Structure 1
Amino acid sequence: MSTLLPYLSPVVNRTTTATATFAPRTSIAATVKPHTTSKHHQVQAATLHDYFQQSTYLLTKPDNGPPRWFSPLECASRFKDSPLLLTLPGIDGNGHALLLHYQRLGQLFDIWCLHIPTTDRTPFSVDLVKLIETTVRSESYRRPKRPIYIVGESMGACLALAVAARSPDINLVLLLANPTTSFSKSQVQTLLPILKVMPDQLRLQVPYLMMSLMADVPSRMTIAIAEKGLPFQQTLINLSEDVAAWFSYISGLADVFTIETILWKINILVSAYDHSNSHIHKVSAQTLILSSGRDQLLPNIVEGQRLCRILPKCQTFTFSHRGHALFLEKDVDLVTVIKEAGVYRRAVLLPPSQLERRNSVDSLRWLDVATSPVLLSTLENEKIVRGLDGIPNEGPVLFVGHHNVLGFEVIPMIRHFMIERNINLRMLGHPLLFKKFKEVKAPYLEPYDFLGAMGAVPVSGCNMYELFSMKSHVVLYPGGVREGLHRKGEEYKLFWPEQAEFIRMAATFGAKIVPFGAVGEDDFTQLVLDYDDQMKIPFMKLYMEALTNETVKLRTDVGGFAKPDMHVPGLLPKVPGRYYYLFGKPIETQGRKHELRNREKAEEAYAHVKCEVEKCLAYLLKRRQDDPYRSIIARFMYQATHDGFDSRVPTFHIN
């Protein structure tokens, strides 16, 4: 950011009268300087320095007004009918906790931030909770179909829980970062009796201590000393810019956060703790807990687990090496977290950002070591080549394939499409992948979070229509759960429905259909306990029935086969082999819209695609036997004598 402060807009013009009384037109916007932009009005990404600058402005500005909402104007690029996102501040009350995330969040949400002036003495349970509840109810009444997200950090998380407990009839999603529901176990709790008898000179150090703990300064200093091997005194001089900026920020607020203000804030914190814990059993909203492992103030990981046991629709994400001020960490992206958690209610998300793509490619690099995938494609002259040269550049393109066990093959495939062709594959997946708040807990498989970050969406006609409208490259598995959870001896067998479900939709948009096959699951795992085996074990049978009843079922019958009951297959790992992919020649549907409206023609095209997928599987199953590097040991030996893990390992000869 180039100069001082971005525009801040009070939300008075978009709320009912009840809410507007807390958002006077001249409260913030009248005195805030505009943020410099380019001639195309593009706002640069915010930095930690911008947070300090803008927070200092809000906290030190003379203001005797009540709490009020403001909306950053740099978040004006959102989708039409975007969900409302309310940001509730921590103990400082400045409202800018998500400043580093405004640019990304503003594309998905209509953002309102709550600002509580430093001099304000509004009680927690009476007025603060009532203010937020009034806003929630008025916005829900105004647009009843729009979900309302509440992001609360620290004390703000307690506010969010209190509002949710009073609003069980409202469509809410809670995103809670390091909630102070565990305040009784906090180090600050032990300071309360001491503060009242502490000498004035020592009292002046309390604001420094609290702000330092919030910023995780002690841990950062320890890491700096360990990494640089410098004496303590020299480390203070050579601390990173961020930590030095924290010290400067704390010094600038010392006059504002007097000991009287700190005592009031702590009293509010105690009220928030008592109120939220006494009403938490009334909360029914979908909830995502974000827990920091290096929080110097609160035992967040244990508390997140406790809350997930109490709340009926709850999931927790852990950031092991992050401090209390989670949203100010450079490598924490709230939009990515929301995608991976599957809590965004809009069907089709934004495509992944460059940062998400880079992080996903880097974090899953171990897949190349383990699977060394061989990707083959078919050119227009039907010649098979190694690489993805046969894949169409322009969408819409529909990739139709076969699921290996648990659908794991899609992860290295999507990753390599990004690396080799810079193509983002959007997978249409079973709703179970996106429904993570379950009463019946299935095993958590972290690599599948990658799919949400890359823009995977639940399979449906509406989502396919929207993705084709965006000219996307879309991945569809017609066999769905029945293929991904197949029985023993059913590897590489197709379980497609009888109806030509996707042909007409593809023809409507003139999408190219690329049939493909992937083999390799039998080189990585051995299925030892399938559905039939588990049905014979009483307690496992009960678990599967509960999981099946809770899961969204797309169809109860697949091509005459048994219904796809949900279960977790028992797998034993093998010494890793290799994954192989073959993408067939693209099938054109351009200009065939009217032809494929005919049921018989559509069924013929459907049968053709299915036959091509089976041919791809047969080709790979046969040819992989000639691969001298199918074993991971042979691949390691090759890489040891070439360019290491970055070398592309050869495969069988391609005719």
Structure 2
Amino acid sequence: MALASTGAFIFPVGVSSTFLTPSSGNSNLTSNPVSIRRLALSAEQPRATTTTETKWKDSGLRKGRFGKTGEEEAHSHTTTFVREDYRLGEQRRTEHQALEAEEERMSLKDYFEQAKDLIRSDGGPPRWFSPLECGSRLNNSPLLLFLPGADGVGLGLIRHHQRLGKIFDIWCLHIPVKDRTPFRELVKLVERTIKAEHRRSPSRPIYLVGESLGACLALSVAALNPDIDLVLILANPSTSFGKSQLQPLIPLIEVIPKSLQLSLPYVLSLMTGNSLKMVMANLEKGHPLQETVEELSRDLVAMPFYLSVLADIFPRETLLWKLQMLKSASAFANSRLHSVKAETLVLSSGRDEFLPSQREGERLHKMIPKCEIRYFGESGHFLLLEDDFDLVTVIKAASFYRHSKVHDYVFDYFPPTPSEFKKVNESYKWLYMATSPVYISTLENGEIVRGLAGIPSEGPVLLVGYHMLMGLEKIPVVGQILLERNILVRGIAHPLMYMRFTKGRLSASEFPNFDTIRLMGGVPVSGKNLFKLFSSKSHILLYPGGMREALHRKGEEYKLFWPKQSEFVRMAARFGATIVPFGAVGEDDIGEVVVDYDDQMKLPFLRNYIEDLKNEIVRLRTENNGEVANQDPHLPGILPKIPGRFYYYFGKPIETKGMKHVLRDKEKCDELYLHIQSEIVKYMDYLKEKRENDPYRNLWPRLLYQTTHGFTSEVPTFDI
């Protein structure tokens, strides 16, 4: 068996810890420590197990660069890992280096090729392995245990190994094809692992990523270990097996004669996805038709190989065993759902061919206290193997990544990759095209220039501005600064965008824009978070007017609603931050508020709705009086207009370096605070005046210009 090509470390349960490699001319494995490029096995010849007697040693594995295996108390032997490109301790990039090149992801073909290598002739036991491409990770990365679906191979995350491997310590569970370990024994195996690792690093969370059957395994382990800090990520859980079209297959397979070979083309078609869907998706992304057809042709040529591997993974006896295990796993997990206390993220496909995953996700969301759900309407059962799905992106956007018991929105954050940023940009393309934003900024010498050259490169920098209606200006400006200057701006946002596990009207799955804001670096407003951002020399985007300004009433456009206290000035001076005031106009050109907060509070049913929302969210500025404290959440009624244009004016940077002692004086602090306010009003007045001379302020002249010059061309504006 060509084990050296699977790209993994393997750690069986309860056996000694040496490398294994095929001996020349013999398919048996020897226990001589050797250097292997792709696969390192930590095992002696695996012994067969039975369903009636399975002897386990503690399976918790301490796996570093040069680590011990098993619990330290139970194992005294050491293992030397020999690998040319094994790098650990990669340090976090600075936020100024926001976009970097991405490595090419593995494909479905890689899954089948490596799966073939992992299909062993032995009967077990199940074992952990760590893919070599997951070897270069950050220090103190949390542990991630992947619990596979019915295939048991353990390669379900293969398309995500490289990205996950940078931020997690990854172990994957491999269950050999002929293994007949009952579900409850698998639960005990994972239990022993998490208990051993929890004792070794009690402050480090342990992630259980479960697919289908593995999701039942994760839920069962979490229910039995409520005191261990677990984070569950469940892809199309088979807790809905009782309502699945798979269940009737059990008696059918039992009566099929053993001489008949089961046909698997249907399973393959479900796994690889609809070919036409793939073609259309590639064309929508702008891929050349010839390239798309060639890719499809390669898949069709490889299909016989895929079928043969699937036949090896699911021989008749194994398929029957796995279906019976799905049934028992579903019953076991469902009977214990009430005991699950772990943070849980359910990933539900809208077109699951095997399970009613969307309805099941909704059920789990209601039953598990700390549960959130994300829907993938066009995806099938094998979500983790689909081209357009990126698990790291989902984890980041849902704010489910953390190093310790408490989530840190500043230091647990990773900047968007080029592909993530591209998707965000594309999702707001309609807004960019409709408003053709104009950006001008001020250099240190006072010169006003087109573009964003006036924003200082070195942080800490605090961008302070006016919040347009519904905060429409936020995403374009953050995206443009990243695109033009490669500077990631961390926006300070209302806590309702970060509310976790709510079962009320503000469930995060109902507001996908919240995920976008988190992915792009948004941080919930608090003095503690602002302090961390300043201390990490970040670029920070702050709207002192907050929700009151963004959800203003009729006739209040371009009116600032700032608190009387100079909240941010003293902290900025403490870190010597540069403050850049800016104005933004254009909301009055795209819509008009016709039903505002005052109107809605006069209607009983809307008033009750707003009161319910108010009770769900964190209240801000309760110590303040006046309009700035009136931040009740609501959605104003807006009458759209033919889109005008957005204009941004970033003023001259204000240095606070060396002013720390001066700004301890409250009067001096208030003076600078009022100066910043007046500068923002001045910039907005300037933009409102200058836009009258913009020949392309209205939509039709802009469309005409882009039709003749190309839709990617920059549309001219007024003279500066």
Task: Identify whether the pair has TM-score above 0.5, normalized to the shorter chain.
Answer: yes
**What is the aligned partner in structure 1 of residue 85 from structure 2?**
37
Partner amino acid for 1:521?
E
Partner amino acid for 1:547?
L
Residues 558 and 585 of structure 2 are in contact (CA less than 8 Å); yes or no, is this contact kept in structure 1? yes
Are residues 1:99 and 2:166 paired?
no
Provide the C-alpha distance between the structure 2 equivalents of 1:262 and 1:23, rounded to a whole number of angstroms. Answer: 30
**What is the aligned partner in structure 2 of residue 326 from structure 1?**
383
Provide the C-alpha distance between the structure 2 equivalents of 1:296 and 1:543, rounded to a whole number of angstroms. Answer: 38
Partner amino acid for 2:58?
A
Provide the C-alpha distance between the structure 2 equivalents of 1:653 and 1:558, rounded to a whole number of angstroms. Answer: 42
Moved more, 407-416 or 568-577: 568-577
Moved more, 336-345 or 238-247: 238-247
**What is the aligned partner in structure 2 of residue 308 from structure 1?**
365
Are residues 1:460 and 2:526 paired?
yes
**What is the aligned partner in structure 2 of residue 59 from structure 1?**
119
- Correspondences of 1:609-620 after superposition (within 5 Å): 609-620=676-687
- Correspondences of 1:327-366 after superposition (within 5 Å): 327-344=384-401, 345-348=407-410, 349-366=413-430
**What is the aligned partner in structure 2 of residue 87 from structure 1?**
146
Partner amino acid for 2:154?
G
Query: How many correspondences in the alignment?
Result: 635
Residues 60 and 194 of structure 2 are in contact (CA less than 8 Å); yes or no, is this contact kept in structure 1? no
Provide the C-alpha distance between the structure 2 equivalents of 1:199 and 1:333, rounded to a whole number of angstroms. Answer: 42
Gaps of 5+ in 1: 229-234
1:83–1:570 distance in 2 versus 1, CA, 3 Å = farther
Q: Deviations over 1:490-542 (max 9, x none)?
A: 22222222333322333333322111111222222222332222222333323
**What is the aligned partner in structure 1 of residue 58 from structure 2?**
20
Provide the C-alpha distance between the structure 2 equivalents of 1:608 and 1:308, rounded to a whole number of angstroms. Answer: 49
Using the TM superposition, give the Cα deviation of residue 106 of structure 1 relative to its aligned residue in structure 2, in angstroms. 3.1
**What is the aligned partner in structure 2 of residue 232 from structure 1?**
none
Residues 7 and 32 of structure 1 are in contact (CA less than 8 Å); yes or no, is this contact kept in structure 2? no
**What is the aligned partner in structure 1 of residue 481 from structure 2?**
417
**What is the aligned partner in structure 2 of residue 231 from structure 1?**
none
Residues 52 and 249 of structure 1 are in contact (CA less than 8 Å); yes or no, is this contact kept in structure 2? yes
After superposition, the CA RMSD in angstroms is 3.6
1:308–1:241 distance in 2 versus 1, CA, 3 Å = farther
Using the TM superposition, give the Cα deviation of residue 222 of structure 1 relative to its aligned residue in structure 2, in angstroms. 7.6
- Correspondences of 1:590-601 after superposition (within 5 Å): 590-601=657-668
Provide the C-alpha distance between the structure 2 equivalents of 1:70 and 1:502, rounded to a whole number of angstroms. Answer: 49
**What is the aligned partner in structure 1 of residue 271 from structure 2?**
215
Partner amino acid for 2:559?
K
Q: Deviations over 1:417-444 (max 9, x none)?
A: 2332232222122221122532222383
Moved more, 294-303 or 421-430: 294-303
- Correspondences of 1:548-559 after superposition (within 5 Å): 548-558=614-624
Using the TM superposition, give the Cα deviation of residue 265 of structure 1 relative to its aligned residue in structure 2, in angstroms. 0.7
* Of 626, 632, 640, the match for 1:573: 640
* Of 561, 566, 584, the match for 1:518: 584
Q: Aligned with 2:246: secondary structure?
A: helix
Residues 490 and 539 of structure 2 are in contact (CA less than 8 Å); yes or no, is this contact kept in structure 1? yes
1:221–1:381 distance in 2 versus 1, CA, 3 Å = closer
* Of 663, 671, 675, the match for 1:604: 671
Indicate the structure with greater helix content: 1
Using the TM superposition, give the Cα deviation of residue 411 of structure 1 relative to its aligned residue in structure 2, in angstroms. 0.9
Partner amino acid for 2:685?
A
Using the TM superposition, give the Cα deviation of residue 109 of structure 1 relative to its aligned residue in structure 2, in angstroms. 3.1
**What is the aligned partner in structure 2 of residue 547 from structure 1?**
613
Residues 216 and 294 of structure 1 are in contact (CA less than 8 Å); yes or no, is this contact kept in structure 2? no
**What is the aligned partner in structure 2 of residue 473 from structure 1?**
539
**What is the aligned partner in structure 2 of residue 392 from structure 1?**
456
Provide the C-alpha distance between the structure 2 equivalents of 1:57 and 1:465, rounded to a whole number of angstroms. Answer: 51
Q: Deviations over 1:285-331 (max 9, x none)?
A: 44322223343322333433343344444433233333322222233
1:166–1:538 distance in 2 versus 1, CA, 3 Å = farther
Partner amino acid for 1:8?
F
Partner amino acid for 2:711?
F
Q: Deviations over 1:464-497 (max 9, x none)?
A: 3433344332211122222222233322222222
Residues 165 and 284 of structure 1 are in contact (CA less than 8 Å); yes or no, is this contact kept in structure 2? yes
**What is the aligned partner in structure 1 of residue 42 from structure 2?**
none
Gaps of 5+ in 2: 18-55, 63-67, 71-76, 91-101, 284-291, 402-406
Residues 292 and 300 of structure 1 are in contact (CA less than 8 Å); yes or no, is this contact kept in structure 2? yes
Provide the C-alpha distance between the structure 1 equivalents of 2:332 and 2:421, rounded to a whole number of angstroms. Answer: 42
- Correspondences of 1:153-552 after superposition (within 5 Å): 153-202=211-260, 204-206=261-263, 208-209=264-265, 211-217=267-273, 219-220=274-275, 239-242=296-299, 244-245=301-302, 247-252=304-309, 254-344=311-401, 345-348=407-410, 349-435=413-499, 437-442=501-506, 444-552=510-618
Provide the C-alpha distance between the structure 2 equivalents of 1:551 and 1:75, rounded to a whole number of angstroms. Answer: 39
Partner amino acid for 1:572?
L
Provide the C-alpha distance between the structure 2 equivalents of 1:461 and 1:402, rounded to a whole number of angstroms. Answer: 20
Provide the C-alpha distance between the structure 2 equivalents of 1:512 and 1:315, rounded to a whole number of angstroms. Answer: 38
Moved more, 568-577 or 37-46: 37-46
Partner amino acid for 2:115?
S
Provide the C-alpha distance between the structure 2 equivalents of 1:246 and 1:603, rounded to a whole number of angstroms. Answer: 71
Residues 82 and 110 of structure 1 are in contact (CA less than 8 Å); yes or no, is this contact kept in structure 2? yes
1:222–1:650 distance in 2 versus 1, CA, 3 Å = closer
Residues 211 and 250 of structure 1 are in contact (CA less than 8 Å); yes or no, is this contact kept in structure 2? no
Q: Deviations over 1:137-186 (max 9, x none)?
A: 55556655544432211111222223333344554432211222232343
Q: Deviations over 1:565-592 (max 9, x none)?
A: 2223333322222211111111112233
Partner amino acid for 2:703?
F
Q: Deviations over 1:3-26 (max 9, x none)?
A: 83445275999xxxx983465978
Q: Aligned with 2:654: secondary structure?
A: coil
Provide the C-alpha distance between the structure 1 equivalents of 2:488 and 2:680, rounded to a whole number of angstroms. Answer: 22
Using the TM superposition, give the Cα deviation of residue 81 of structure 1 relative to its aligned residue in structure 2, in angstroms. 4.4
Q: Aligned with 2:561: secondary structure?
A: coil
Provide the C-alpha distance between the structure 2 equivalents of 1:380 and 1:30, rounded to a whole number of angstroms. Answer: 60
Provide the C-alpha distance between the structure 1 equivalents of 2:439 and 2:428, rounded to a whole number of angstroms. Answer: 17
Q: Aligned with 2:655: secondary structure?
A: coil
Using the TM superposition, give the Cα deviation of residue 463 of structure 1 relative to its aligned residue in structure 2, in angstroms. 3.0
Residues 176 and 290 of structure 1 are in contact (CA less than 8 Å); yes or no, is this contact kept in structure 2? yes
Q: Aligned with 1:215: secondary structure?
A: helix
Partner amino acid for 1:129?
V
Using the TM superposition, give the Cα deviation of residue 226 of structure 1 relative to its aligned residue in structure 2, in angstroms. 12
Using the TM superposition, give the Cα deviation of residue 389 of structure 1 relative to its aligned residue in structure 2, in angstroms. 2.1
Provide the C-alpha distance between the structure 2 equivalents of 1:530 and 1:225, rounded to a whole number of angstroms. Answer: 42
Provide the C-alpha distance between the structure 2 equivalents of 1:564 and 1:315, rounded to a whole number of angstroms. Answer: 26
**What is the aligned partner in structure 2 of residue 4 from structure 1?**
5
Q: Aligned with 1:489: secondary structure?
A: coil
**What is the aligned partner in structure 2 of residue 110 from structure 1?**
169
Residues 439 and 648 of structure 2 are in contact (CA less than 8 Å); yes or no, is this contact kept in structure 1? yes
Partner amino acid for 1:316?
I
Partner amino acid for 1:339?
K
1:190–1:68 distance in 2 versus 1, CA, 3 Å = same
Sequence identity of aligned pairs in percent?
Answer: 52
Using the TM superposition, give the Cα deviation of residue 281 of structure 1 relative to its aligned residue in structure 2, in angstroms. 4.2
1:227–1:497 distance in 2 versus 1, CA, 3 Å = closer
1:312–1:200 distance in 2 versus 1, CA, 3 Å = same
